[in-house]
């Protein structure tokens, strides 16, 4: 939520150079998506019962506004998988994030 708020703030000069939203996005009503946004990385698990609907809605809004964020959708991991090793592919989200950062 905090990362998406910083990303979507009206003053483009105050936006971060990149944003990584891991199983998160704006809560509640979807805010307007600005035309110019920095590179974005999104990751979530399909069995995230807490945030799945909102992050998918956010991703669709980004796409509709013409943005192409890097997206990683894991089959499982739940909400808040973070650094918790569960023996799932979501255990490696940070590796994908590092690869994405290197490519930037």
What is the pTM for the complete model shown? 0.92
For 30-46, write each residue's pLDDT tens digit. Answer: 999 999 999 999 999 99
For 2-23, write each residue's pLDDT tens digit. Answer: 899 999 999 999 999 999 999 9
The DSSP annotation for 22-56 comes to ES----SSPPP--S----EEEEEETT-TTTHHHHH
Q: Which domains does the chain have, with CATH numbers?
A: 2-29+38-103 (3.40.50.1820)
Report pLDDT for 22: 93
Average pLDDT rounded to a whole number, residues 55-78:
96
As given in the structure block, the two tokens for residue 79 are 């909400």
Report pLDDT for 1: 82
Q: Of 78, 81, 16, give the one whose Cα is nearest residue 2.
A: 16
């Amino acid at each position: 939520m905090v990362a998406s708020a910083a990303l979507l703030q009206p003053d483009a000069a105050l936006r971060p150079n990149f944003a990584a939203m891991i199983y998160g996005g704006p809560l509640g009503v979807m805010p307007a998506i600005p035309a110019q946004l920095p590179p974005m990385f999104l990751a979530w698990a399909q069995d995230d019962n807490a945030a799945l609907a909102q992050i998918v809605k956010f991703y669709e809004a980004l796409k509709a506004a013409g943005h192409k964020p890097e997206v990683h959708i894991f089959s499982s991991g739940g909400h808040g998988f973070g650094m918790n090793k569960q023996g799932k592919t979501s255990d490696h989200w940070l590796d994908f994030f590092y690869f994405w950062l290197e490519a930037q």
